[in-house]
């Protein structure tokens, strides 16, 4: 695997070559660990809800987080029965699908985008920041951003094969894969 990352910074240009087996191993490990972490979080909720009969309930979180957080206005939209039902469905299934996509390396950038969005949402509704400003939500967001930027799905992932197909040659598809 050889990939060059170029950044044009105010202090000078930066070029980083990712080549060799060690960087490929590290990207693969980072992708699998990040994907498993999110898949496990979501699948556990799905399993408990649909198999064990102990439904996931985000209503307490929405009510708690909608008081005095940065995203208070957004959360107020979900602080009703329809919004809570939507959240109770989307959080477990979203986490499961995001984790599965990253774990398999399929549509990795798309999954990483939604994973980073979800973690950003969790980060900003945690108004108390009882674990500090640098917490697991921020670290998760950074993991998803790293997996997406470095196109980790191209390393022993399904994206490596999807990108060879005709439909994947347009810029939109290339942005979602990787």
Q: Is residue 13 part of a domain?
A: no
Q: Is residue 22 part of a domain?
A: no
Q: Is residue 4 part of a domain?
A: no
Structural domain of residue 50, as residue ranges?
27-176
In the chain, DSSP assigns E strands to: 2-9, 12-19
pLDDT band at 57, cuts 50/70/90? confident
Q: Is residue 12 part of a domain?
A: no
Question: How confident is the prediction for the chain on average, in pLDDT?
Answer: 84
- Domain total of the chain: 1
Between residues 126 and 33, the one the model is more confident about:
33
Handedness of CA 71, 74, 76, 79 (dihedral sign): negative
Q: Is residue 2 part of a domain?
A: no
In this prediction, residue 111 carries a pLDDT of 96
Q: Under 8 Å CB-to-CB from 48, ≥6 apart: which residues? A: 54, 55, 56
Q: Is residue 15 part of a domain?
A: no
Which pTM does this prediction carry?
Answer: 0.82
Q: Is residue 85 part of a domain?
A: yes
In this prediction, residue 9 carries a pLDDT of 59
Q: Which residues are 14's β-sheet partners?
A: 7
Q: Is residue 5 part of a domain?
A: no
pLDDT tens, 62-97?
777 666 677 777 777 777 788 888 888 999 999 999
pLDDT tens, 157-175?
998 888 888 888 888 888 8
pLDDT tens, 4-44?
655 565 666 656 566 667 778 888 999 999 999 999 999 99
- Tokens 């498993």, residue located: 36
């Amino acid at each position: 695997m050889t990939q060059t990352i170029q950044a044009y910074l105010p202090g000078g240009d930066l070029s980083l070559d990712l080549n060799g087996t060690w960087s490929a191993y590290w990207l693969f490990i980072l992708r699998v660990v990040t994907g498993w972490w999110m898949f496990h979080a979501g699948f556990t909720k799905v399993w408990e809800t649909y198999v064990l009969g102990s439904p996931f309930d985000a209503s307490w979180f929405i009510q708690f987080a909608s008081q005095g957080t940065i995203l208070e206005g957004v959360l107020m939209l979900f602080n009703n029965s329809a919004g809570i039902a939507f959240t109770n469905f989307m959080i477990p299934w979203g986490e499961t699908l995001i984790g599965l996509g990253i774990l398999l390396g399929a549509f990795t950038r798309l999954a990483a985008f939604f994973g980073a969005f979800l973690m950003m949402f969790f980060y900003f509704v945690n108004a108390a920041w009882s674990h500090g400003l640098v917490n697991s939500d921020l670290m998760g967001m950074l993991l998803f951003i790293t997996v997406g930027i470095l196109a980790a799905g191209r390393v022993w992932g399904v994206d490596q094969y999807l990108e060879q197909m005709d439909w994947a040659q347009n810029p939109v598809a290339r942005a979602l894969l990787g």
